[in-house]
Structure 1
Amino acid sequence: MLTAHPIQKIVIFRALQLGDLLCSIPAFRALRTTYPEAKITLVGLPWAESLLTRFPDYFDAFIAFPGYPGLPEQEIDPQKTTAFLQQVQVEKFDLALQMQGNGSIVNPLAELFGAFYTAGFYLEEDYRPNPLFLKYPEGIPEIERHLLLMNHLGIPSVGTELEFPINSFDRDAFDQLNLQIIPQKYICIHPGSRSLARQWPPVYFAQLADYCQEQGFDVIITGTKDEAHLAAEVMQHMKHEGYNMVGKTTLGAVAVLIKDAFALISNCTGVSHIAAAFGTPSVVISLHGEPERWSPLNQTKHRTIDWTKTPKFELVMAQLTEVIV
């Protein structure tokens, strides 16, 4: 489908959070395999510039996305948005990939990138710029959705595995924590979530933490500094002492912790996909109502409980028991 013009410069529009980007890595891998010499630019939220060093094989450049009307991730600054579009248009990309979402809001924006080809997703009732756009597949894993887009464009898949490379800076950041823990002898608990509506009650995390400790594991609580109150509440309800590392780690150090852990317990957040990348067993409590979309593909190693349908603590405990006993 992409044969009328050489593909030398590609721009990917995916201005979302960590978990969203990690679920797209198999698609990015397929893209790079098909176009090994192309310059690939990621348009993302400012935090995502770090992915250039995390995934140097997949991204060559980064442009920060300043926001757009109808997208909730950032406040709108019309002047910055105009300057952003000018910056993108000057690049004269050969291919622009709208991987932001179903296209109901952003497809006209993606066309303004001015690429020779523009592709992405669309909804039946909404605007479809051209045949390179794929009708948004519903009810499937996010990983497979983006691979379907690649396949639609004639780009073969090269596996569904997630990735999260660890570098020497990550190991150094982990070593500086000076934690007296033994690999495979501890369990990470990540009680936070970007949305308050998706946070499982801290008292439940505390009960799981106590159970883990009674099975002989250390417990390490992770999260950002903004989630310190959650960690404090979890520890307040715990019968045993744990390591509270909330706000004390880099993302890379958290990745090292998860890689070497026996298991992870979390809400459905980016860390659940980091665990999937490493093959670290996990118990994930899903409160967003889309477990089929965001759950790790290996459902034996990664147990996802849809709390919106079965809000039963004993079910979560049963899944945890199967994972660690």
Structure 2
Amino acid sequence: MVLMRRLGRPLPLRIAVVRMLRGLGDMLCIVPALRALRVALPKAHITLVGFPSAHAFVARFSHYVDELAECPGYPGIPERQPDIQRLPEFFSFMHERSFDLAIQMHGNGVVTNPFTIMLNARMNAGFFKPGQYCPDEKHFLPYPENEPEIRRYVRLLEFLGVPSAGEALEFPLWKNDRQELSIMPETRDLWPRGYVCIHPGAHDPSRCWPAERFALVADALSDFDLRVVLTGSAGERGLTRRVAKAMRRPSIDLAGRTTIGALAVLLSNARLLVCNDTGISHIAAALHIPSVVVFTNSDPGRWAPLNISLHRAVAASNGSLASGGFSFRGGKGADGSQSLRRAAQEPIPGIEQVLTAAEDLLVKEKFYWQGE
């Protein structure tokens, strides 16, 4: 393979990467592509074109991304209401940067390809939707609808001649992340691998599995002599309180009390994570922590962790009521078996599916801990 064979010479040194999504998981999914780009072009200045929420991502991944160019929004991109009056100034600023290459890493390009072209880079690359506008067939691939989000952008760069640097995710842990977690009194008695993290929230509320089901799962996991730690953002405190109230066993509720870095440190010592399809599932994948990810309103083929030995994606099915070795004694004022049977009749993942997946990970003789 000739490096960047499609992009000619000289190799691009000023690169814009377009990814205007707000979720942490959305950003983590392009880390393998950014890594490949940095390995291939170590002297390049890489600018992420995105929203202000990406500042924390750029700071943590400064070894791959040099700066964030804040976009004021753009018509057709739902993540942010566009500030139309600021767009001319934004594009003028982008033109002054004189990018050698702009790579569209935001979806099928129906909306984002025209945006990328207006950055006025010397060359553009990305995906296009068949039958829709394709800026340049030499540098744009048909959008792969049925491919994992991580893999599709690695493949895009391979198409451009940039060798893959692997599909593994990353999440660097900083010294101050550990310090922030260590000063929390509730965490001082948590032993490594002696607890599970239950994360009942999601950036998109439509992806949330019912809180009462998380409570049943948390109680069942307690039977493995594991403590239960509830995690979430400040806006999810009400949700974690509902889980805690529905549980029979005690739990530690840290929702809204940790930075994302401190949360990652907490997760790095957990034995298991049970969560919805949201950003924390990608952090667990980056830290090689076993996880069960519940999919209710999103595509596991696109968003599920790639390592199926370490992670389980659970979606709705007509599974049996087999408990997988767990006992169901129910939540406060509830009969566990009746709750389980009601859950099995609904078109979302069942409790028994989640518990069977969790048990499968917990009882494996070999765990995939790094450094042990």
Please report the TM-score for the alignment, with normalisation by the length of structure 2.
0.85
Q: Is the 8 A contact 2:276 2:293 kept in 1?
A: yes
Choose the corresponding residue for 2:19, options 14, 18, 26.
14
Q: Is structure 2 residue 136 aligned with structure 1 residue 103? A: no
Alpha-carbon separation, structure 2, partners of 1:233 and 1:82: 47
Alpha-carbon offset, residue 80 of structure 1: 2.2
Between structure 1 and structure 2, the one with the greater Rg is 2
Alpha-carbon separation, structure 2, partners of 1:21 and 1:75: 19
Equivalent position SS for 1:62: strand
Alpha-carbon separation, structure 2, partners of 1:84 and 1:164: 30
Q: Deviations over 1:63-95 (max 9, x none)?
A: 112211111111121122222212211101000
- Equivalence for 1:54: 60
Identity of aligned residues (%): 41
Give ranges in structure 2 of 5+ residues lacking alignment: 1-5, 318-346, 364-372
Alpha-carbon offset, residue 4 of structure 1: 4.0
Alpha-carbon offset, residue 53 of structure 1: 2.3
Equivalent position SS for 2:166: coil
Give ranges in structure 1 of 5+ residues lacking alignment: none
Q: Is structure 2 residue 169 aligned with structure 1 residue 162? A: yes
Q: Is the 8 A contact 2:300 2:313 kept in 1?
A: yes
Alpha-carbon offset, residue 193 of structure 1: 0.9
Choose the corresponding residue for 1:233, options 216, 235, 242.
242
Select between 55-64 and 243-252 the one with higher mean Cα deviation.
55-64
- Equivalence for 1:128: 134
- Equivalence for 1:203: 212
- Equivalence for 2:7: 2
Alpha-carbon separation, structure 1, partners of 2:354 and 2:16: 41
Alpha-carbon offset, residue 37 of structure 1: 0.2
Alpha-carbon separation, structure 2, partners of 1:117 and 1:146: 17
- Equivalence for 2:151: 144
Number of residues of Structure 1 aligned to a counterpart in Structure 2: 325
Q: Deviations over 1:152-180 (max 9, x none)?
A: 11101011111000011211111122312
Q: Deviations over 1:266-285 (max 9, x none)?
A: 00111101101111000000
Q: Is the 8 A contact 1:7 1:95 kept in 2?
A: yes
Select between 194-203 and 45-54 the one with higher mean Cα deviation.
45-54
Equivalent position SS for 2:222: helix
Equivalent position SS for 2:107: coil
Q: Is structure 2 residue 303 aligned with structure 1 residue 298? A: no
- Equivalence for 1:242: 251
- Equivalence for 1:265: 274
Closer/same/farther in 2, CA of residues 100 and 115 from structure 1, 3 Å limit: same
Q: Deviations over 1:156-210 (max 9, x none)?
A: 1011111000011211111122312111101011100122211000001001111
Alpha-carbon separation, structure 2, partners of 1:213 and 1:257: 18
Please report the TM-score for the alignment, with normalisation by the length of structure 1.
0.97
Q: Is the 8 A contact 1:289 1:306 kept in 2?
A: no
Q: Tell me the C-alpha RMSD between the 2 structures.
A: 1.3
Q: Is structure 2 residue 172 aligned with structure 1 residue 176? A: no
